Structure 1
Amino acid sequence: MSWFYLVLAGLFEAGWLIFLEKSASFSKPPFVFLACGSMAISLYLFAISIKDIEVAIAYMVWLGVGVCSLIFFNHVFLGSAVSLMQGIFMLLLFIAIIGLKVSS
């Protein structure tokens, strides 16, 4: 269950960054509140997950899931381009995350 919480924490990590960008430098309060809420949920889920997962591994997975989710969201919903090489390296990152899960 800790790995599920960790991946979910990574998704909320991407969420707070998206909402932070949408807040237009804290000038749109609803997005500021969403960013703060997503950040709090992300940190809470991360804290729960490190009870059973080594901190260094959890941190790598948390950031990896967050970054890949952010890139995916920007590509699908905002039309930002993802090069072939970026796609390959994101795939390698997911393979590494799966490898960390299997090896721990």
Structure 2
Amino acid sequence: MAWFYLIIGGMIEIAWALGLKFSEGFTKPLVSVVTVMLIVTSFYFFAQAMKRIPVGTAYAIFTGIGAAGTAVVGFLFLGEDVSFLKIVFILLLLTCIVGLKLTSSAEEERA
């Protein structure tokens, strides 16, 4: 369940990162309130995940999901520049996230 919480928290991180952009520096009240609610929700799931997953692994995966996901959303929906190297580095980041999961022992997750 901890990994599920971590993935959900990371996915919500993508949403709040976009909310920060669309709140225009917290000058749009409705978008700002929704963004803050997403931040709190994201960190709730992250905190739940850290009850079972070591902090270093959890934080790296949480931020990695958010960073990679936000970049991909920017490419696909916000017209941000895409380059071969950006795609390579996002894939490298995702490979590292999977590597952290694969090298995380069941013993660490129970601690």
Fold shared, TM-score > 0.5 on shorter chain: yes
The equivalences for 1:45-84 within 5 A come to 45-84=45-84
CA deviation profile, 1:56-102 (whole Å, cap 9, x unmatched): 11101111100011101111111111211111111111111111111
Provide the TM-score with structure 2 as the length reference.
Answer: 0.88
Match of 1:29 in 2: 29
Provide the TM-score with structure 1 as the length reference.
Answer: 0.94
The runs of 5 or more residues in structure 2 that have no matched partner are 105-111
If you compute each CA radius of gyration, which structure gives the higher value, 1 or 2?
2
Number of residue equivalences: 104
- Percent of residue pairs identical: 37
Letter in 1 for 2:63: L
How far is 1:14 from its partner? 1.9
The runs of 5 or more residues in structure 1 that have no matched partner are none
Match of 2:109 in 1: none
